[in-house]
Each structure stands twice: as C-alpha cells, then as structure tokens.
Amino acid sequence: MQHYSDEDILNLYRDDSSRNMALHYLIQKYQQKLYWHIRKIVISHDDTDDVLQNTFIKTWKGLAGFKEESQLYTWLYRIATNESLTFLKQKQRANTTSIHPIEYQLSKSLESDSFFSGDEIQLKLQQAILTLPEKQRIVFNMRYYDETPYEQMSAILETSVGALKASYHIAAKKIEELLVKD
C-alpha cells in the first residue's frame, strides 16, 4: 500500500482527472484514526460509522475551499470533532423521553456494545471519562489515548494551549478520584 502525503492528496484533488483517487487516498490515510477519535466521543460503533461517513462527506464537499492555513490532518479532526458533537446534540434532542443526560445514555451504550473489547478496568475508565464535561472528555481522550501534542490540539479545538493543559489536568484528577472511590 502506497502512502501519500497530504500535499500529494491535495495535488491529486486539484487535478480533475485524479480527484476520485484523491478521495480514495484521503480515506485510506485517515479512516482508522478518525474512526477512533469519533468513537471515543460518540461511543457506539454504529453511530461512529455514521459520523465518520458524514465527516468524509463534509470534507469532500469542503475540500475545494480548504485554504491550507492549517494542516489537512488538523482540518479533518476539527470536522470530525464538530460532527461528533453535533451528532450527540441531535441525539439528546431526539431522545426527549429520557430524563438522563447523554453521558448516561453513552455509558449504558458502552456496557451493551458488542464491539467493546475492554476488560472491567477499561469499562470503569471509560465510564469515568463519560462523567467529564464534553470538552474535557475530548481533551482527555486526545491527550491520554492519542498522545496528541497540545499545540496540535490547540489548532483542532481552537483553544489555547494553556486552557488545554488545565483542562487535561482537571480531567485527569476527576478520573483518578472516581477510580479510587470504586
């Protein structure tokens, strides 16, 4: 499998004769990374697939307007994050019969997810992460699991590095307290 740089993919996209190939290489390069980024936000495998598809559709439609002021990677992650958050808000609004917040629903979804392969400790960690506010949860997942540098997170989430460091520190403390209690 040949790996294409972001610049190669963008050059293929600019040429009408290779535009579809550009989409193929873009998906090939980023599908797995974006899947796991989205999955940590929306939890459910099926929902993740839907959000990932929407992410690539939005990317494809917006690629002509991509100004290259940021890295392609950063731009894709921003789209994936926004699509994930929009999905969760729509899911919360659609479920007007539930008195539980979306995080509770996600936790229950995690427990019954046949695609979740973690042990009991992983389940407790994931449930603790779900108690965090939305932005802290995303920051924690990006830093803890993906080891995303703060500078890159700053570009993706459009937040200062200092705020991200503080958010991660607070999130880690909250999770530690929850896990110690159990």
Q: What are 166-169's contacts with CB under 8 Å, separation 24+? A: 167/135, 167/136, 167/139, 167/140, 168/136, 168/139, 168/140, 168/143, 168/144
What ranges do the domains of the chain cover?
A: 1-99, 118-182
CA–CA dist 31, 15 (Å, integer): 22
Nearest to 34 by CA among 10, 5, 59: 59
Residue 106, pLDDT score: 59
CATH architecture of 118-182: Orthogonal Bundle (1.10)
Please give the angle made by the CA atoms of 66, 67 and 72, to the nearest 5 degrees: 60
CB atoms < 10 A from the CB of 122, how many?
A: 12
CA–CA dist 169, 151 (Å, integer): 16
The pTM for the full model equals 0.79
DSSP state of 115: T
**Which residue is it, tokens 């790996």?**
3
What is 1-99's CATH number, 1.10.3720.10, 2.60.40.3140, 3.30.365.10, 1.10.1740.10?
1.10.1740.10
pLDDT digit string (tens) for the chain, length 182 residues: 568 999 999 999 999 999 999 999 999 999 999 999 999 999 888 999 999 999 999 999 999 999 888 899 999 999 999 999 999 888 877 665 554 455 555 555 555 555 555 567 777 888 888 889 989 999 999 999 889 999 999 999 999 999 999 999 999 999 999 888 76
| Per-residue CA distances from 111 to 48, 53, 91, 95, 181 (Å) | 16, 24, 18, 19, 20
Residue 156, pLDDT score: 93
Decide: residue 173, CB within 10 A, 0-12 exposed, 13-18 middle, 19+ buried: exposed
